[in-house]
Every structure is written in C-alpha cells, then in structure tokens.
Amino acid sequence: QLLCVSSTFGKLPEERARSPRPDTSSGPSISVSPSLQPATAGSLGLDLAASVETTLATTRPAKIPTGVNGPIVINGQGYGGLVLGRSSASIMGLFVLPGVIDADYTGEIHVMAYTMYPPIVIGAGQRIAQFIPLPQLTSSITPRESCERGKKGFGSSGVALLTMDLSQRPKQKVTITYQGQSINVEALLDTGADASIISPRVWPRRWPTRQSTDLVTGVGGCTLALKTPRVIVTIDGKNITVGLSVIELPVGVSCLIGRDILAQLGVVL
C-alpha cells in the first residue's frame, strides 16, 4: 500500500495563526526563498519543504532536495544551523536524520530522511523538516583547512568519498606543493600500491631528490627509487604531507597515488 503524505502536513491552523505584532523593520529579515519561513511568530525554526516529489521505496535513508541554498542570510549575516525533523512528519512515519549546515556552505540544502513503512510518497512543497539558525561560535578558532566548504557536503570533511567513473582508469587531479611552489598533475589511484610515486618527467628539476634504499617492486621486478622531500599533496580539497618515490612510470601516467596517501584521506571504495 502506497502512503502519501497529506497536503495538510504541518502544524494545526491555530498554531500557524499569527497574532498582530509591532513593526519589524528593524528586526531580522531573511533574504532567501519566500518558502523558507517560520510557521508562527514564535517559531525557532524555518520550515523546509521538498522541492520535488520523492518516493521512499525502502527503509534506506534518502536525500530529499529542498531547493534552498546556503548560507541562510539574516540581517546580512550568513548563518549555519541544524536540520531537524518535524513532529507532524514523524507521526506520519517519516523520520528526519539530524544534520549540520555550516555557515560557509553554499550548496543546496538536502534533508536526509527514511521511513520504516515503505513505500511513502512525499509531494513537492510538503514541509518535512525545519532549519534552526545558529551563531558560529567557532569563528575565532583557526580552522584545520584554509579552504571554504562551498558546495561540498555529506561527509566531505570526514571520510573521503571520491566520485569517479570506474569504466575508465580511476584518475584524480592533484596538486603537489614544495616550499610554496606547486605543480598540478593527473594521478592514477592505486589501492594495490603501498607507496605513492611520481614520474621524473613531471617532477621539477629545480626540486631536490635524494638517494634512497627503498625498493619499488612491480611486474618488471625491483627498482631502487629516488625519494623526494616531504611535500604537500592536495587531493579533493584535502592536504596530505608525504614523501614520494621518483621512478619512471608507464606512458600516460604522471603520478600514482598509493595507500600511504589514500589511507590518510580515509578513502572508502
């Protein structure tokens, strides 16, 4: 049996009724979509609605788009906050997983939700969650990464979820930085390699290398590799400090990213 969320999904009419209040021209003004509004004058949250019809056919969580982009601007100040469920949604069998929206997030806000009673249809425009704006009390603390979050979300600062077409060789653009100078290369991701390798064809001649006793073993046998000083490898917006092996690679491969870097990124395949 297909369960459709009622068009009356939300608070009771008497709860939505607004009592007269004085002029609010000097109070907070929210410069976002008109659909992002508090339900009543005393509401702490801003209602979030599904922007498209979504069917939850299983009990697995799903991302439901809202059509609202961050940050939420109130009186010229961008706010992050919490995405929480609504009691009216929960009683209908739709459960929202709490989420954090950062103040520097500029992508579309999605609601993570699931049901224990599939299938359930959520109509476009149905209010399913609420956004609770919060001040950023961590703004005076030096961040671990210098780049802003931008449109990256859903685990982008935790486990690395690299998206790539596995019908082709798994490659990723990386930046290698040494003493303030950088080069950009396209690297082959190889979970079978213990150490990361760069070809001498792309390693700048002005950057130093040193002799090493490290052996690189491949199909063709063992090779004694040169070693680079510790460099910063930036991949998918994350920085890893590591020493690379310098050895000739096959034609078309400039750099090989092995488990020494992938493990630090927390890559999950």
- String of DSSP letters for the chain: --EE--TT-SS-HHHHPPPP----TTS--B-S-TT---SSTT-SSEEEE-SS-EEE-SSS-EEEEEEEESPEEETTEEEEEEEEE-HHHHHTTEEEPPEEE-TTB-SEEEEEEEESS--EEE-TT-EEEEEEEE--TTTTSPPSSSS--BT--SSTTSS------TTS--EEEEEEEETTEEEEEEEEE-TT-SS-EE-TTTS-TTS--B----EEEETTEEEEPEEPPPEEEEETTEEEEE--EE----TT-SEEE-HHHHHHHT---
Catalytic site includes residue 190: yes
From the candidates 23, 102, 165, 190, give the one annotated as an active-site residue. Answer: 190
Enzyme catalytic residues: 190
